[in-house]
């Protein structure tokens, strides 16, 4: 079998170059920020052709989401934004479990807040927690443009306070989904409070669980990595949930409440 035939190799090589070029051009049109600067640090090489292929063959981004992503790409802290494949997975999970009430801890410019609000029913709610209005005001006009502003309840104060208020007002076990993506030192507290707030069968998604690989050798004085690593160790043995740890973006853990 002429598997190693020179002509074939040349053909395949040329074809692959062609595909890479076509993909780049398409990607450049559809997801420019993925080509000209990645939106968030990732454990996977985002410039790899296979990663680009995954995005080219799976993303179906709402036009207003795309607008907000491109707007966020110009922000000096643009790397804080959730990756669009993570956001799409969360939207699919929210639809799958027919979620009505969701929490987001860490809004930034509101890409994932918008993403979740778009798939919630008209009477659904996102309790969106952040401390920085300079960030959240960037996305607000686009929440309005997408016609889902009424589903977003933005609370500007430390997220712990908002979660305590929800618990105090009797909202334990009434939420379907939570996304934890704020200060890493508080991850354990966020997780515990969210676990009280969500129903059985609800899901908690936790971002940055691989922290660019730092979890492999957490330094004692690095409270962010310690916070993430301790929670990872605890979740493995936590009988209240089932888990999946996905190498998507900077690492995404899904905890399913039993
Ligand atoms: C990684 S960004 C969130 C990205 C966002 N989920 C998205 O989809 O693009 C982290 C956010 O957490 C916010 N934050 C930091 N400490 C916080 C706290 N104690 N309570 C609430 N939000 C906080 C920051 O202001 C920042 O906007
Ligand atoms: C789910 O969690 C329970 C309780 O810890 C455990 O017994 C079970 O094996 C887990 N199932 C899966 C699929 O991980």
Q: Pairing state of beta strands 241-246 and 198-207? A: unpaired
CA of 64 to the centre of ligand 1 (A): 21
When pLDDT is cut at 50, 70 and 90, the band that residue 41 belongs to is low
Report pLDDT digits (tens) over 64-87: 999 999 999 999 999 999 999 999
* 156 half-sphere exposure, CB direction, 13 A CA radius: 9
Give the whole-number percent of the chain exceeding pLDDT 70: 83
Report pLDDT digits (tens) over 240-256: 999 999 999 999 999 99
* 114 half-sphere exposure, CB direction, 13 A CA radius: 28
Q: 10 Å Cβ neighbour count for 102?
A: 27
Query: Is the predicted pLDDT of residue 10 greater than 80, yes or no?
Result: no
CA distances from 48 to 1, 23, 43 (A): 31, 12, 12
Which tokens is 256 given? Answer: 């399913």
Give residue 46's pLDDT. Answer: 76
| Cα–Cα nearest to 102, from 73, 67, 126 | 126
CA–CA dist 24, 181 (Å, integer): 30
Q: Which residues line ligand 2 (CB under 6 A)?
A: 239, 242
Query: Is the predicted pLDDT of residue 4 greater than 50, yes or no?
Result: no
Average pLDDT in the 188-194 region?
A: 98
Candidate of 195, 242, 254 to mutate for ligand 2, largest count of ligand atoms within 8 Å of Cβ: 242
| Cα–Cα nearest to 141, from 80, 71, 84 | 71
Residue 219 per-residue DSSP state:
-
Report pLDDT digits (tens) over 206-234: 999 999 999 999 999 999 999 999 999 99
Higher-confidence residue of 9 and 187: namely 187
Report pLDDT digits (tens) over 102-124: 999 999 999 999 999 999 999 99
Q: Pairing state of beta strands 252-257 and 241-246? A: antiparallel
Ligand nearest to the Cα of 183, by number: 1
Domains of the chain, start order: 3-257 (3.40.50.150)
Ligand nearest to the Cα of 158, by number: 1
Residue-by-residue DSSP string for 89-146: HHHHHHHHTT--EEEEE--TTSHHHHHHHHHS-TT-EEEEEES-HHHHHHHHHHHHHT
Confidence (pTM): 0.87
Share the mean pLDDT of the chain: 87
* N residues, the chain: 258
User: Per mean pLDDT, which of 12-16, 44-48, 179-183 is the most reliable?
Assistant: 179-183
Among protein residues, the one with the nearest Cα to ligand 1's atom 8 is 112
Query: Is the predicted pLDDT of residue 62 greater than 90, yes or no?
Result: yes
Give residue 136's pLDDT. Answer: 98
Residue owning tokens 């190799």: 9
Query: Is the predicted pLDDT of residue 18 greater than 90, yes or no?
Result: no
């Amino acid at each position: 079998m002429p598997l190693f035939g020179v002509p074939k190799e040349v053909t395949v090589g040329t074809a692959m170059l062609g595909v890479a070029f076509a993909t780049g051009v398409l990607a450049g049109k559809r997801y420019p920020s993925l080509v000209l600067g990645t939106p968030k640090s990732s454990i996977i090489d985002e410039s790899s052709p296979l990663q680009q292929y995954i995005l080219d063959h799976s993303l179906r981004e709402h036009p207003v989401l795309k607008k907000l992503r491109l707007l966020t790409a110009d922000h000096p802290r643009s790397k804080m934004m959730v990756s669009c494949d993570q956001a799409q997975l969360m939207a699919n999970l929210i639809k799958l479990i027919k979620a009505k009430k969701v929490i987001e801890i860490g809004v930034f410019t509101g890409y994932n807040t918008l993403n979740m609000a778009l798939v919630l029913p008209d009477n659904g709610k996102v309790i969106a927690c952040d401390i920085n209005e300079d960030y959240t005001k960037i996305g607000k006009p686009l929440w309005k443009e997408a016609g889902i502003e009424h589903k977003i309840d933005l609370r500007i104060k430390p997220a712990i306070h908002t979660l305590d208020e929800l618990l105090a007002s009797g909202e334990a076990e009434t939420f379907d989904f939570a996304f934890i993506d704020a200060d890493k030192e508080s991850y354990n507290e966020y997780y515990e409070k969210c676990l009280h707030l969500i129903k059985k069968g609800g899901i908690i998604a936790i971002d940055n669980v691989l922290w660019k690989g730092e979890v492999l050798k957490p330094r004692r004085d690095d409270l962010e990595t310690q916070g993430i690593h301790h929670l990872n160790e605890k979740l493995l043995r936590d009988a209240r949930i089932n888990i999946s740890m996905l190498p998507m973006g900077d690492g995404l853990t899904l905890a399913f409440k039993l």
